């Protein structure tokens, strides 16, 4: 029985409204309704189609969730062949000049004739697809195949939300749109992260992800993959006045609601083609999707027809590529590098390979978990990727090429590879529970971490040594004037004479640095603890430790279990502190600091009269009229109070200034007392 007229009208209205929201969200990147409202509309349409199956149409948005699995893909014959275009082998400027010269010769243009007009666009690294619209409704999608015939992948393509199921406006009787299905890098990374969290297989790279998704026999799998689409041309059409040029064709497709890439331009002559090629190369790494070059097309369709084809390739178009960003090579070794923060990173040593415009011999493997996930072994053939200035990385192993000699090896183990110690300094390595990175525990001593340790030690919130910046620290370390932070206080190493001879330094600057180092000796215990750079110990924890122990020696001699009695010090932080002080190198540096007079003043305990705020927790938000947040926090902590960064039921007071945000809202929701700066001053007796 046909559906009631009211149900049919409602279904039609829902389809139109949902597709408007899809277009706004996926194409324009401008959502028009909240997700909950979109879901409500979608469920209403699904319910109507279930109750009245005759309401299900080829352009229904509910088809985007995928249909029944197919036994195989049906063949599709292309009415107008989907031919590939010639690739210009010269990736430099001459590639554009050669193409322009060929076009001019074929058009019979003399030397003084005006330049040819071209449409220039991107060459996407995805899968070519044909979309067949009949009376404005998407009826079929097919792969390129061999150019003459491809495969029917309609069910999978319908799941791509950027592709309209019905064209906007007055649609032609028949319009075959051609373009590229691809997966953006951010979508690729998010998908893989989700797959790893679920312990499911990940995708090798965005291109394989796109191609593999479209060729899934089960469309529900394709529906889970975050695919995108850009149109680049037209095949067969009927009932449509074709524009006079290629750029006008793309504009018309965009008006129909079909996504067309914004990075396209009309230029005149070879030099403007070269300029476009260079501009896109500079932009390439910032694009959210992969391209392997640009495409030049003679803009006039009449001239395209005049130029015709040769060897089944159009004379009027060419792909001007960039150097490949992915290549295959062999892993000849796996080594471990120590970074400036102590992180140990496995690095693949590679048989030299030219990729991304340079010869690559090393590629990062990120961390031990990544090495195991990708199952990288010495002797493997791997895919290496290099994009712009990004460090080359191993993307995947080609298992089919794995030598039999390594098939039964155990997964690579970082701890075993380095025998449990940092090769830069010989100190123990450790990995916190739940962390993926192994780290060297000798923060103050390790040569690999030296510059970072000194910069942190001298930073404003630590010992605040004014003038000791990155360029000066680089020189001090490279000339071996400073090998640990204790050397800053050794007058035999750091003095006016030794500093004055450094680049961008003179006697006056040297005197200022020496004076700043001397002044830094007068510091608080909390600042000194923070300056040591103990992993997981920030400013707040350093203040808690200083209040609890009163001296650096008391802190050094306390074990991990006892440390957990300090407020907000849990097992992970306690192990970091105990492990730091267990290293003889670190204790030696602290002893030298004490000898130089850097001991750290014990925190002043609040007087009985001022003990009103002792033990209370405050949260600061907004801009106070007279005090900075740092000044307000210092006043609270000087009287035994604690300053937290987030509001909870344990918060006693929220001190709110101008433009207080979500913290104020949360305080009101939880019933936490809210005061202003004057209220804080009254509490502090100031």
Q: Among all residues, which ones are annotated catalytic?
A: 123
In the structure encoding, which two tokens stand for residue 518, read together?
A: 């001397």
Six-digit token string for 620? 């600061």
Nearest to 219 by CA among 77, 75, 71: 71
Q: Which residues contact 291 (CB under 8 A, 6 or more apart)?
A: 122, 123, 124, 125, 280, 284, 322
For residue 620, with 0-12 CB atoms within 10 Å meaning exposed, 13-18 middle and 19 or more buried, which class applies?
Answer: buried
Spatial CB neighbours of 183, under 8 Å, sequence gap ≥ 6:
126, 191, 203, 206, 207, 209, 210, 213, 225, 226, 227, 228, 289
Q: Indicate if the alpha-carbon torsion angle 122, 123, 125, 126 is positive or negative.
A: positive
Residue 490, Ramachandran bin (φ over 0: left; ψ between -120 and 50: alpha; else beta):
beta
If we measure between CA atoms, which residue out of 580, 561, 581, 582 comes closest to residue 571? Answer: 561
Query: How many whole angstroms separate alpha carbon 440 and alpha carbon 299?
Result: 60
What is the C-alpha to C-alpha distance for residues 349 and 570, in angstroms, rounded to an integer? 39
CB neighbours (10 Å) of residue 46? 16
How far separated are the first and last CA of the chain, in Å rounded? 83
3-state secondary structure of 137: strand
Supply the DSSP string of 325-345, one letter for each residue: SEEEEEEEEEEEEE-TTSBEE
């Amino acid at each position: 029985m046909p559906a009631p007229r009211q149900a049919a009208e409602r279904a039609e209205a829902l389809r139109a409204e949902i597709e408007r929201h899809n277009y706004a969200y996926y194409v324009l990147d401008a959502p028009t309704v909240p997700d909950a409202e979109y879901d409500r509309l979608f469920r209403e349409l699904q319910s109507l189609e279930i109750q009245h199956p005759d309401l299900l149409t080829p352009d229904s948005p509910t088809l985007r969730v995928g249909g029944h699995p197919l036994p195989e893909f049906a063949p599709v014959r292309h009415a107008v062949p989907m031919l590939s275009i010639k690739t210009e082998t010269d990736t430099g400027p001459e590639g554009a000049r050669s193409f322009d010269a060929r076009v001019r010769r074929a058009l019979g243009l003399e030397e003084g004739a005006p330049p040819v007009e071209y449409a220039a666009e991107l060459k996407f690294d995805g899968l070519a697809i044909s979309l067949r619209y009949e009376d404005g409704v998407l009826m079929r999608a097919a792969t390129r195949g061999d150019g003459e015939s491809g495969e029917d992948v309609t069910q999978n393509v319908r799941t791509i939300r950027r592709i309209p199921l019905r064209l906007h406006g007055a649609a032609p009787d028949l319009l075959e749109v051609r373009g590229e299905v691809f997966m953006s890098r951010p979508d690729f990374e998010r998908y893989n992260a989700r797959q790893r969290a679920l312990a499911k297989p990940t995708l090798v790279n965005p291109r394989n992800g796109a191609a593999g998704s479209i060729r899934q026999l089960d469309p529900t799998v394709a529906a889970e993959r975050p695919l995108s689409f850009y149109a680049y041309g037209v095949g067969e059409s009927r009932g449509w006045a074709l524009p006079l040029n290629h750029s006008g064709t793309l504009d018309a497709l965009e008006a129909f609601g079909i996504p067309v890439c914004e990075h396209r331009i009309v230029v005149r002559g070879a030099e403007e083609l070269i300029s476009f090629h260079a501009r896109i190369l500079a932009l390439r790494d910032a694009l959210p999707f992969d391209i392997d070059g640009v495409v030049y097309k003679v803009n006039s369709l009449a001239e395209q027809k005049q130029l015709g084809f040769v060897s089944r390739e159009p004379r009027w178009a060419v792909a001007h590529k960039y150097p490949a960003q992915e290549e295959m090579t062999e892993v000849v070794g796996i080594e471990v590098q120590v970074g400036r923060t102590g992180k140990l990173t496995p690095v693949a040593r590679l048989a030299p390979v030219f990729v991304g415009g340079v010869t690559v011999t090393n590629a990062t493997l990120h961390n031990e978990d990544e090495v195991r996930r990708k199952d990288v072994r010495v002797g493997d053939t791997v895919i290496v990727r290099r994009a712009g200035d990004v460090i080359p990385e191993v993307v995947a192993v080609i298992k089919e090429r794995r030598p039999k000699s390594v098939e039964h090896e155990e997964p690579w183990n970082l701890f075993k590879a380095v025998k449990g110690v940092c090769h830069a300094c010989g100190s123990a390595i450790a990995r916190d529970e739940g962390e993926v990175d192994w780290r060297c525990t000798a923060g103050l001593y390790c040569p690999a971490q030296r510059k970072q340790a000194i910069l942190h030690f001298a930073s404003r919130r630590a010992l605040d040594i004014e003038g000791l910046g990155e360029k000066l620290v680089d020189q001090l370390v490279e000339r071996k004037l400073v090998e640990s932070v204790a050397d800053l206080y050794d007058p035999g190493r750091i003095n006016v004479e030794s500093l004055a001879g450094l680049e961008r330094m003179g006697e006056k600057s040297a005197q200022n640095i020496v004076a700043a180092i001397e002044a830094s000796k007068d510091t608080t215990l909390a600042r000194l603890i923070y300056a040591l750079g103990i992993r997981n110990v920030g400013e707040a924890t350093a203040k808690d430790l200083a209040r609890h122990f009163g001296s650096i020696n008391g802190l050094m001699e306390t074990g991990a279990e006892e440390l957990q009695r300090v407020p907000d010090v849990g097992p992970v932080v306690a192990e970091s502190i105990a492990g730091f002080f267990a290293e003889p190198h670190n204790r030696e540096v602290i002893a030298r600091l004490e000898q130089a007079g850097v001991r750290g003043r014990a925190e002043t305990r609040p007087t009985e009269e001022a003990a009103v705020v002792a033990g209370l927790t405050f949260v600061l938000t907004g801009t106070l009229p007279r005090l900075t947040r740092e000044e307000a926090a210092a006043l609270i902590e000087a009287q035994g109070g604690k300053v937290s960064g987030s509001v909870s039921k344990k918060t006693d007071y929220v001190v709110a200034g101008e433009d207080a945000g979500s913290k104020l809202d949360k305080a009101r929701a939880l019933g936490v007392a809210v005061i202003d700066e004057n209220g804080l001053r009254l509490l502090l007796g100031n």
